Chain A
Amino acid sequence: MSRTRTALLRTAVVTGAAGALAMTAVGPAAAETEVAEPTTFSSAFTAMATPDMVINNDGAATPGQPGASGTFTYRINSDTEVICYDISLTGVTPPYQSPAKTATHIHQGDAGQAGPPRIAFPNPEDDGTGRLVSSGCLQGPFTTGVVADGTDTGAGFTLDQIEADPSAFFTDTHTSAYAAGAVRGQLTAIPVGGVETGAGGAAATGSQDGSTGTVVGVVGGAALLAGAGAVALRRRALQQ
Protein backbone atom coordinates (compact mmCIF):
# COMPACT_ATOMS: atom_id res chain seq x y z
CA MET A 1 0.00 0.00 0.00
CA SER A 2 1.30 3.38 -0.83
CA ARG A 3 0.50 6.28 1.41
CA THR A 4 0.77 9.17 -0.89
CA ARG A 5 -0.26 12.31 0.85
CA THR A 6 -1.10 15.10 -1.45
CA ALA A 7 -0.57 18.49 0.03
CA LEU A 8 0.42 21.45 -1.99
CA LEU A 9 2.58 23.28 0.44
CA ARG A 10 4.40 20.38 1.91
CA THR A 11 7.18 19.96 -0.58
CA ALA A 12 8.67 23.36 -0.14
CA VAL A 13 8.40 23.27 3.63
CA VAL A 14 9.90 19.84 4.01
CA THR A 15 12.76 20.63 1.72
CA GLY A 16 13.74 23.34 4.14
CA ALA A 17 13.37 21.02 7.10
CA ALA A 18 15.45 18.34 5.44
CA GLY A 19 18.19 20.82 4.76
CA ALA A 20 18.24 21.80 8.40
CA LEU A 21 18.42 18.18 9.46
CA ALA A 22 21.29 17.49 7.15
CA MET A 23 23.25 20.31 8.70
CA THR A 24 22.54 19.23 12.24
CA ALA A 25 23.04 15.52 11.75
CA VAL A 26 25.37 14.33 14.46
CA GLY A 27 28.69 12.72 13.75
CA PRO A 28 29.75 10.52 10.91
CA ALA A 29 27.37 8.13 9.20
CA ALA A 30 28.07 5.42 11.68
CA ALA A 31 25.15 3.25 10.71
CA GLU A 32 22.89 3.02 7.67
CA THR A 33 22.46 5.37 4.77
CA GLU A 34 21.66 8.79 6.15
CA VAL A 35 18.84 10.25 4.05
CA ALA A 36 16.74 13.39 3.94
CA GLU A 37 13.50 13.44 5.87
CA PRO A 38 10.70 11.91 3.80
CA THR A 39 7.57 13.93 3.11
CA THR A 40 5.29 11.34 4.66
CA PHE A 41 5.33 8.81 7.45
CA SER A 42 3.24 5.73 8.06
CA SER A 43 3.74 5.53 11.81
CA ALA A 44 5.52 7.01 14.81
CA PHE A 45 6.65 5.68 18.16
CA THR A 46 8.14 6.97 21.39
CA ALA A 47 9.84 5.46 24.40
CA MET A 48 10.56 6.82 27.85
CA ALA A 49 13.88 5.17 28.56
CA THR A 50 14.88 4.74 32.17
CA PRO A 51 17.58 2.82 34.06
CA ASP A 52 15.15 0.51 35.84
CA MET A 53 14.07 -1.08 32.56
CA VAL A 54 17.49 -2.42 31.61
CA ILE A 55 17.78 -6.17 31.14
CA ASN A 56 21.11 -7.85 30.39
CA ASN A 57 21.71 -10.49 27.75
CA ASP A 58 20.93 -13.23 30.25
CA GLY A 59 17.50 -11.75 30.86
CA ALA A 60 18.32 -10.43 34.32
CA ALA A 61 17.34 -6.97 35.51
CA THR A 62 20.52 -4.88 35.46
CA PRO A 63 19.84 -1.30 36.49
CA GLY A 64 21.41 1.36 34.29
CA GLN A 65 22.79 4.76 35.23
CA PRO A 66 20.96 6.17 38.28
CA GLY A 67 19.00 9.31 37.55
CA ALA A 68 19.42 9.05 33.79
CA SER A 69 16.55 9.18 31.34
CA GLY A 70 16.01 9.36 27.63
CA THR A 71 13.29 10.21 25.17
CA PHE A 72 13.49 8.25 21.94
CA THR A 73 11.01 9.23 19.24
CA TYR A 74 10.89 7.49 15.88
CA ARG A 75 8.93 8.28 12.71
CA ILE A 76 8.71 5.53 10.14
CA ASN A 77 7.93 5.32 6.43
CA SER A 78 7.65 1.57 6.03
CA ASP A 79 7.10 1.85 2.27
CA THR A 80 10.57 3.25 1.73
CA GLU A 81 12.25 1.69 4.81
CA VAL A 82 13.13 5.07 6.27
CA ILE A 83 13.21 5.70 10.00
CA CYS A 84 13.76 9.17 11.43
CA TYR A 85 15.06 9.39 14.97
CA ASP A 86 14.94 12.12 17.60
CA ILE A 87 16.84 11.02 20.67
CA SER A 88 17.55 13.09 23.78
CA LEU A 89 19.37 11.81 26.85
CA THR A 90 19.85 13.42 30.23
CA GLY A 91 22.13 12.08 32.92
CA VAL A 92 23.84 9.55 30.66
CA THR A 93 27.63 9.67 30.85
CA PRO A 94 29.59 8.61 27.78
CA PRO A 95 31.78 6.99 26.55
CA TYR A 96 29.42 4.77 24.68
CA GLN A 97 30.25 1.12 24.35
CA SER A 98 28.71 -1.71 22.40
CA PRO A 99 29.79 -4.61 20.21
CA ALA A 100 27.48 -3.17 17.55
CA LYS A 101 28.41 -0.41 15.08
CA THR A 102 27.02 2.16 17.49
CA ALA A 103 25.74 1.93 21.05
CA THR A 104 22.24 3.33 20.47
CA HIS A 105 19.72 0.78 19.22
CA ILE A 106 16.28 -0.54 18.61
CA HIS A 107 16.20 -4.14 19.81
CA GLN A 108 13.52 -6.75 19.29
CA GLY A 109 12.36 -7.91 22.70
CA ASP A 110 9.37 -7.66 24.99
CA ALA A 111 9.41 -5.72 28.24
CA GLY A 112 11.55 -7.57 30.76
CA GLN A 113 13.26 -9.62 28.04
CA ALA A 114 16.56 -9.32 26.23
CA GLY A 115 16.69 -9.31 22.45
CA PRO A 116 18.96 -8.70 19.48
CA PRO A 117 19.58 -5.22 18.05
CA ARG A 118 17.84 -4.55 14.72
CA ILE A 119 18.91 -0.96 14.03
CA ALA A 120 21.96 0.99 15.20
CA PHE A 121 21.64 4.79 15.39
CA PRO A 122 24.33 7.45 15.67
CA ASN A 123 25.10 8.00 19.33
CA PRO A 124 23.74 11.16 20.94
CA GLU A 125 26.31 13.91 21.38
CA ASP A 126 26.35 17.07 23.48
CA ASP A 127 24.33 19.78 21.76
CA GLY A 128 26.17 22.49 23.68
CA THR A 129 23.74 22.61 26.60
CA GLY A 130 24.78 19.38 28.27
CA ARG A 131 21.97 17.42 26.70
CA LEU A 132 22.94 14.50 24.50
CA VAL A 133 20.99 14.50 21.26
CA SER A 134 20.90 12.60 18.00
CA SER A 135 18.52 13.18 15.13
CA GLY A 136 18.31 12.33 11.45
CA CYS A 137 16.89 9.68 9.15
CA LEU A 138 18.24 6.28 8.11
CA GLN A 139 17.20 4.12 5.21
CA GLY A 140 17.44 0.33 5.35
CA PRO A 141 18.27 -2.42 4.76
CA PHE A 142 19.79 -2.25 8.22
CA THR A 143 22.84 -3.85 9.68
CA THR A 144 24.01 -3.63 13.26
CA GLY A 145 27.48 -5.11 13.17
CA VAL A 146 26.41 -7.77 15.65
CA VAL A 147 26.63 -11.23 14.13
CA ALA A 148 24.62 -14.12 15.54
CA ASP A 149 24.77 -17.57 13.95
CA GLY A 150 26.72 -16.11 11.06
CA THR A 151 24.13 -13.45 10.25
CA ASP A 152 23.96 -9.75 11.09
CA THR A 153 21.10 -9.21 13.56
CA GLY A 154 19.69 -6.52 11.29
CA ALA A 155 19.43 -8.84 8.29
CA GLY A 156 15.87 -9.57 7.26
CA PHE A 157 14.46 -6.95 9.59
CA THR A 158 11.97 -4.52 8.11
CA LEU A 159 10.28 -1.52 9.67
CA ASP A 160 6.78 -2.91 9.21
CA GLN A 161 7.65 -5.39 11.95
CA ILE A 162 7.71 -2.50 14.42
CA GLU A 163 4.37 -1.25 13.09
CA ALA A 164 2.87 -4.71 13.54
CA ASP A 165 3.78 -4.90 17.22
CA PRO A 166 5.64 -1.93 18.70
CA SER A 167 5.54 -3.35 22.22
CA ALA A 168 7.81 -6.17 21.03
CA PHE A 169 10.62 -3.66 20.48
CA PHE A 170 12.69 -1.59 22.87
CA THR A 171 15.27 1.11 22.46
CA ASP A 172 18.36 1.80 24.53
CA THR A 173 21.85 3.17 24.70
CA HIS A 174 24.91 1.46 26.14
CA THR A 175 27.92 3.03 27.86
CA SER A 176 31.17 1.61 29.09
CA ALA A 177 30.00 1.98 32.69
CA TYR A 178 26.58 0.46 31.90
CA ALA A 179 27.27 -2.00 29.14
CA ALA A 180 23.89 -3.71 29.45
CA GLY A 181 22.30 -0.33 28.94
CA ALA A 182 22.31 3.06 30.64
CA VAL A 183 18.60 3.53 29.88
CA ARG A 184 15.97 1.45 28.10
CA GLY A 185 12.30 1.79 27.17
CA GLN A 186 9.63 -0.10 25.19
CA LEU A 187 8.15 1.54 22.10
CA THR A 188 4.59 2.87 22.16
CA ALA A 189 2.63 4.27 19.23
CA ILE A 190 2.07 7.99 18.78
CA PRO A 191 0.37 9.76 15.88
CA VAL A 192 2.04 10.89 12.69
CA GLY A 193 1.50 14.38 11.38
CA GLY A 194 -0.80 17.08 12.66
CA VAL A 195 -4.06 16.68 14.52
CA GLU A 196 -7.33 17.24 12.65
CA THR A 197 -9.14 19.25 15.26
CA GLY A 198 -11.21 21.63 13.23
CA ALA A 199 -13.67 21.45 10.39
CA GLY A 200 -14.06 25.15 9.82
CA GLY A 201 -17.13 27.05 8.84
CA ALA A 202 -17.80 29.06 11.95
CA ALA A 203 -17.75 32.26 9.96
CA ALA A 204 -19.11 31.08 6.63
CA THR A 205 -22.08 29.16 7.90
CA GLY A 206 -23.17 31.91 10.23
CA SER A 207 -22.17 31.31 13.79
CA GLN A 208 -24.88 32.24 16.22
CA ASP A 209 -22.82 33.84 18.92
CA GLY A 210 -21.16 36.58 16.94
CA SER A 211 -17.68 35.61 18.01
CA THR A 212 -14.91 37.94 17.04
CA GLY A 213 -11.23 37.43 16.53
CA THR A 214 -11.82 34.16 14.76
CA VAL A 215 -9.00 32.46 12.92
CA VAL A 216 -11.49 30.48 10.89
CA GLY A 217 -11.20 30.82 7.16
CA VAL A 218 -13.97 30.94 4.64
CA VAL A 219 -15.58 27.68 3.69
CA GLY A 220 -16.55 27.21 0.10
CA GLY A 221 -19.08 24.78 -1.30
CA ALA A 222 -21.57 22.63 0.53
CA ALA A 223 -21.15 22.32 4.25
CA LEU A 224 -20.57 18.87 5.63
CA LEU A 225 -23.34 17.56 7.74
CA ALA A 226 -21.46 15.85 10.49
CA GLY A 227 -18.09 15.88 12.17
CA ALA A 228 -17.45 12.28 11.26
CA GLY A 229 -17.86 13.20 7.63
CA ALA A 230 -15.28 15.91 7.88
CA VAL A 231 -12.80 13.58 9.46
CA ALA A 232 -13.38 10.89 6.89
CA LEU A 233 -12.91 13.33 4.06
CA ARG A 234 -9.61 14.51 5.43
CA ARG A 235 -8.40 11.00 6.02
CA ARG A 236 -9.12 9.97 2.48
CA ALA A 237 -6.27 12.20 1.43
CA LEU A 238 -3.95 10.33 3.73
CA GLN A 239 -4.65 6.90 2.34
CA GLN A 240 -3.89 5.25 -0.94
Chain B
Amino acid sequence: MSPRGLRPLVVAVGAVLAVAGCAGTTGPAAAPPASTASSTPSPSASPSPSPSPVAPTSSLDPASVPEPTGVRIPALGVDQDLIGLGVAADGTADVPADFGDVAWFTPGGRPGARGPTVLMGHVDSTAGPAVFYELRDLTPGDTVELTVADGSVATYTVTGTEQVAKDTFPTAAVFGATSADVLRLITCTGAFDAGARSYTDNLVVSAVRSG
Protein backbone atom coordinates (compact mmCIF):
# COMPACT_ATOMS: atom_id res chain seq x y z
CA MET B 1 0.00 0.00 0.00
CA SER B 2 2.80 2.35 0.75
CA PRO B 3 4.53 4.16 -2.06
CA ARG B 4 7.62 2.21 -1.13
CA GLY B 5 5.80 -1.06 -0.89
CA LEU B 6 8.78 -3.22 -1.71
CA ARG B 7 11.00 -1.82 0.97
CA PRO B 8 9.58 -3.66 3.98
CA LEU B 9 10.22 -6.98 2.31
CA VAL B 10 13.84 -6.14 1.73
CA VAL B 11 14.18 -4.90 5.26
CA ALA B 12 12.62 -8.03 6.70
CA VAL B 13 15.58 -10.13 5.65
CA GLY B 14 18.03 -7.86 7.38
CA ALA B 15 15.87 -7.65 10.45
CA VAL B 16 15.79 -11.37 10.91
CA LEU B 17 19.55 -11.44 10.79
CA ALA B 18 19.83 -8.55 13.21
CA VAL B 19 17.53 -10.08 15.75
CA ALA B 20 19.26 -13.40 15.47
CA GLY B 21 22.59 -11.73 16.09
CA CYS B 22 21.18 -10.00 19.13
CA ALA B 23 19.76 -13.23 20.41
CA GLY B 24 23.17 -14.80 20.48
CA THR B 25 24.44 -12.39 23.08
CA THR B 26 21.51 -11.15 25.07
CA GLY B 27 19.10 -14.00 25.28
CA PRO B 28 16.10 -15.38 23.50
CA ALA B 29 14.85 -13.13 20.76
CA ALA B 30 13.21 -15.67 18.56
CA ALA B 31 11.79 -14.43 15.30
CA PRO B 32 10.10 -17.16 13.33
CA PRO B 33 11.22 -16.31 9.82
CA ALA B 34 8.60 -18.41 8.09
CA SER B 35 5.81 -16.03 8.96
CA THR B 36 7.65 -12.96 7.82
CA ALA B 37 8.44 -13.92 4.26
CA SER B 38 5.18 -12.60 2.90
CA SER B 39 3.41 -9.44 3.81
CA THR B 40 0.28 -11.24 4.85
CA PRO B 41 -2.57 -9.06 5.97
CA SER B 42 -3.89 -9.38 9.46
CA PRO B 43 -5.68 -12.63 10.25
CA SER B 44 -8.69 -10.63 11.26
CA ALA B 45 -10.48 -8.93 8.41
CA SER B 46 -9.69 -5.27 8.20
CA PRO B 47 -12.73 -3.04 7.92
CA SER B 48 -10.70 -0.16 6.55
CA PRO B 49 -7.97 -1.19 4.14
CA SER B 50 -7.22 2.44 3.33
CA PRO B 51 -3.64 3.53 4.02
CA SER B 52 -5.01 6.32 6.22
CA PRO B 53 -7.50 4.61 8.46
CA VAL B 54 -9.36 6.51 11.11
CA ALA B 55 -8.90 4.94 14.50
CA PRO B 56 -11.97 4.01 16.47
CA THR B 57 -12.42 5.96 19.66
CA SER B 58 -13.19 4.76 23.14
CA SER B 59 -13.42 6.21 26.60
CA LEU B 60 -13.04 2.79 28.21
CA ASP B 61 -10.76 2.53 31.18
CA PRO B 62 -7.77 0.53 29.92
CA ALA B 63 -7.91 -1.56 33.08
CA SER B 64 -11.29 -2.88 31.95
CA VAL B 65 -9.93 -4.61 28.84
CA PRO B 66 -7.34 -7.40 28.46
CA GLU B 67 -3.63 -6.62 28.37
CA PRO B 68 -1.57 -6.89 25.20
CA THR B 69 0.76 -9.87 25.39
CA GLY B 70 2.67 -9.95 22.12
CA VAL B 71 3.70 -7.89 19.12
CA ARG B 72 4.27 -8.94 15.53
CA ILE B 73 5.65 -6.60 12.88
CA PRO B 74 5.67 -8.59 9.65
CA ALA B 75 7.70 -6.03 7.71
CA LEU B 76 10.55 -6.22 10.22
CA GLY B 77 10.38 -9.87 11.18
CA VAL B 78 9.67 -8.91 14.77
CA ASP B 79 7.57 -11.39 16.73
CA GLN B 80 7.93 -10.95 20.47
CA ASP B 81 6.12 -11.46 23.71
CA LEU B 82 5.61 -8.22 25.61
CA ILE B 83 6.82 -7.42 29.09
CA GLY B 84 4.96 -4.86 31.17
CA LEU B 85 6.88 -1.84 32.48
CA GLY B 86 5.92 1.48 34.03
CA VAL B 87 7.56 4.61 35.36
CA ALA B 88 10.97 4.26 37.02
CA ALA B 89 11.78 5.80 40.39
CA ASP B 90 13.41 8.81 38.74
CA GLY B 91 10.31 9.59 36.73
CA THR B 92 11.60 8.34 33.38
CA ALA B 93 10.20 5.41 31.45
CA ASP B 94 11.37 2.04 32.62
CA VAL B 95 12.98 0.21 29.72
CA PRO B 96 13.69 -3.48 29.16
CA ALA B 97 16.84 -4.82 30.81
CA ASP B 98 17.05 -7.40 28.05
CA PHE B 99 17.83 -5.84 24.69
CA GLY B 100 15.71 -8.45 22.96
CA ASP B 101 12.57 -7.57 24.90
CA VAL B 102 9.76 -5.26 23.90
CA ALA B 103 7.96 -3.51 26.76
CA TRP B 104 4.46 -2.10 26.82
CA PHE B 105 3.74 0.81 29.11
CA THR B 106 1.28 -0.67 31.59
CA PRO B 107 -0.23 2.57 33.01
CA GLY B 108 -1.13 3.73 29.50
CA GLY B 109 -3.72 2.67 26.96
CA ARG B 110 -4.61 -0.78 25.70
CA PRO B 111 -6.12 -2.16 22.48
CA GLY B 112 -9.87 -1.63 22.59
CA ALA B 113 -9.69 1.14 25.21
CA ARG B 114 -8.43 4.67 25.24
CA GLY B 115 -4.94 5.19 23.83
CA PRO B 116 -2.16 5.32 23.39
CA THR B 117 -0.78 1.83 23.71
CA VAL B 118 2.97 2.45 23.93
CA LEU B 119 5.66 -0.10 23.10
CA MET B 120 9.34 0.46 23.80
CA GLY B 121 12.33 -1.51 22.56
CA HIS B 122 16.05 -0.94 22.27
CA VAL B 123 17.62 0.00 18.97
CA ASP B 124 20.90 -1.61 19.95
CA SER B 125 23.08 -2.80 22.77
CA THR B 126 26.82 -2.64 23.13
CA ALA B 127 26.81 -6.00 21.38
CA GLY B 128 24.97 -4.87 18.30
CA PRO B 129 21.48 -4.27 16.92
CA ALA B 130 18.58 -4.92 19.25
CA VAL B 131 14.92 -5.73 18.79
CA PHE B 132 13.79 -2.36 17.38
CA TYR B 133 16.89 -1.76 15.28
CA GLU B 134 14.89 -1.62 12.07
CA LEU B 135 11.97 0.37 13.45
CA ARG B 136 12.93 3.39 11.38
CA ASP B 137 12.24 1.39 8.24
CA LEU B 138 8.54 1.12 8.93
CA THR B 139 6.53 3.10 6.42
CA PRO B 140 2.92 4.26 6.34
CA GLY B 141 0.69 1.33 5.53
CA ASP B 142 2.83 -1.27 7.28
CA THR B 143 0.97 -3.26 9.89
CA VAL B 144 1.70 -4.00 13.52
CA GLU B 145 -0.26 -6.73 15.26
CA LEU B 146 -0.80 -6.93 18.98
CA THR B 147 -1.90 -10.19 20.52
CA VAL B 148 -4.23 -9.57 23.44
CA ALA B 149 -4.64 -11.68 26.56
CA ASP B 150 -8.05 -12.94 25.44
CA GLY B 151 -6.44 -14.44 22.33
CA SER B 152 -7.65 -11.83 19.88
CA VAL B 153 -5.35 -9.89 17.57
CA ALA B 154 -5.55 -6.10 17.23
CA THR B 155 -4.13 -4.81 13.95
CA TYR B 156 -2.67 -1.33 13.64
CA THR B 157 -1.59 0.49 10.51
CA VAL B 158 1.45 2.75 10.56
CA THR B 159 0.64 6.39 9.83
CA GLY B 160 3.98 8.06 10.35
CA THR B 161 7.36 8.31 12.03
CA GLU B 162 8.84 11.19 13.98
CA GLN B 163 12.29 11.84 15.33
CA VAL B 164 12.16 13.86 18.55
CA ALA B 165 14.92 15.22 20.76
CA LYS B 166 14.95 13.67 24.21
CA ASP B 167 15.79 17.03 25.74
CA THR B 168 12.55 18.48 24.43
CA PHE B 169 10.60 15.25 24.39
CA PRO B 170 6.94 15.89 23.46
CA THR B 171 5.50 14.06 26.45
CA ALA B 172 1.94 15.17 25.83
CA ALA B 173 2.03 14.16 22.16
CA VAL B 174 3.58 10.76 22.79
CA PHE B 175 2.18 9.61 26.15
CA GLY B 176 -0.82 11.91 26.56
CA ALA B 177 -4.14 10.08 26.74
CA THR B 178 -6.12 9.79 23.51
CA SER B 179 -9.68 8.77 22.85
CA ALA B 180 -8.47 7.10 19.65
CA ASP B 181 -7.17 3.54 19.76
CA VAL B 182 -3.64 4.33 18.68
CA LEU B 183 -0.27 2.62 19.05
CA ARG B 184 3.16 4.18 19.41
CA LEU B 185 6.43 2.33 19.09
CA ILE B 186 9.50 3.99 20.56
CA THR B 187 13.20 3.40 20.21
CA CYS B 188 16.34 5.50 20.08
CA THR B 189 17.88 7.33 17.18
CA GLY B 190 19.97 10.38 16.37
CA ALA B 191 23.51 11.06 17.41
CA PHE B 192 25.12 8.91 20.08
CA ASP B 193 26.52 10.61 23.15
CA ALA B 194 29.38 8.32 24.07
CA GLY B 195 29.86 10.00 27.45
CA ALA B 196 26.30 9.39 28.52
CA ARG B 197 26.08 6.18 26.49
CA SER B 198 22.82 7.49 25.20
CA TYR B 199 21.27 8.62 21.97
CA THR B 200 20.15 12.23 21.69
CA ASP B 201 16.81 11.46 20.10
CA ASN B 202 13.88 9.10 20.15
CA LEU B 203 12.16 7.61 17.14
CA VAL B 204 8.40 7.44 17.54
CA VAL B 205 6.31 5.43 15.09
CA SER B 206 2.58 6.08 15.23
CA ALA B 207 -0.09 3.62 14.12
CA VAL B 208 -3.86 3.53 14.33
CA ARG B 209 -6.19 0.62 14.94
CA SER B 210 -7.32 -0.80 11.62
CA GLY B 211 -8.59 -4.25 12.41
When C-beta atoms are compared, the residue in chain B nearest to A239 turns out to be B90
List of A residues within 8 angstroms of B14 by Cβ: 209, 211
List of A residues within 8 angstroms of B20 by Cβ: 209
A42 contacts partner chain B, Cβ-Cβ < 8 Å? yes
A-B interface contact total, Cβ < 8 Å? 227
B172 contacts partner chain A, Cβ-Cβ < 8 Å? yes
A188 to B99, CA, bound (A): 27
B183-210 Cβ-contact flags toward A at 8 Å (1 or 0): 0001111111110111111100000000
CB of B128 within 8 A of CB of A197, answer no
A50, A86, A219: which contacts B194 (Cβ < 8 A)?
A219
CB of B199 within 8 A of CB of A198, answer yes
CB of B166 within 8 A of CB of A205, answer no
B97 contacts partner chain A, Cβ-Cβ < 8 Å? yes
* Shortest Cβ distance from residue A103 to the other chain B in the assembled complex, whole angstroms: 20
A214, A220, A227, A237: which contacts B98 (Cβ < 8 A)?
A227
A73, A191, A211: which contacts B93 (Cβ < 8 A)?
A191
List of A residues within 8 angstroms of B166 by Cβ: 193-195
A226 to B59, CA, bound (A): 41
List of A residues within 8 angstroms of B193 by Cβ: 217
User: Beyond A44-B175, A69-B179, A71-B177, is A189–B124 a contact (Cβ under 8 Å)?
Assistant: no
* Shortest Cβ distance from residue A141 to the other chain B in the assembled complex, whole angstroms: 22
A159-199 Cβ-contact flags toward B at 8 Å (1 or 0): 00000000000000000000000000100111111111111
Most buried by B among A3, A197, A221, A225: A197
* Shortest Cβ distance from residue B155 to the other chain A in the assembled complex, whole angstroms: 22
When C-beta atoms are compared, the residue in chain A nearest to B20 turns out to be A209
B95 contacts partner chain A, Cβ-Cβ < 8 Å? yes
* Shortest Cβ distance from residue B88 to the other chain A in the assembled complex, whole angstroms: 7
A48 contacts partner chain B, Cβ-Cβ < 8 Å? yes
User: Beyond A201-B124, A207-B129, is A44–B194 a contact (Cβ under 8 Å)?
Assistant: no
Q: Which of B36-44, B47-55, B115-123, B142-150 binds A? A: B115-123
When C-beta atoms are compared, the residue in chain B nearest to A235 turns out to be B90
Q: Chain A binding site: helix, strand, loop or mixed by DSSP?
A: loop
CB of B120 within 8 A of CB of A195, answer yes
B64 contacts partner chain A, Cβ-Cβ < 8 Å? no
Most buried by B among A13, A14, A224, A230: A230
* Shortest Cβ distance from residue A76 to the other chain B in the assembled complex, whole angstroms: 9
List of A residues within 8 angstroms of B196 by Cβ: 7, 233-234, 237
A86 to B173, CA, bound (A): 9
CB of A197 within 8 A of CB of B187, answer yes
Tell me the chain B residues, 11-69 only, with Cβ under 8 Å from chain A.
14, 17-18, 20-21, 24, 26, 57, 59
User: Beyond A13-B168, A227-B99, is A195–B202 a contact (Cβ under 8 Å)?
Assistant: yes
What is A's interface to B at a CB cutoff of 8 Å?
3, 7, 9-10, 13-14, 17, 41-44, 46-48, 50, 52, 69, 71-73, 75, 86, 90, 185, 188-202, 205, 207-209, 211, 214-221, 223-228, 230-231, 233-235, 237-239
What 3 A-B pairs come out closest when comparing CB atoms? A194-B166, A217-B192, A198-B188
Contacts A73-B176, A198-B187 aside, 20 further interface pairs with beta carbons under 8 A come to A48-B114, A48-B177, A50-B179, A69-B59, A71-B176, A190-B176, A191-B87, A191-B92, A192-B91, A195-B92, A195-B95, A197-B121, A199-B122, A205-B127, A207-B127, A211-B128, A217-B199, A219-B126, A219-B194, A238-B92
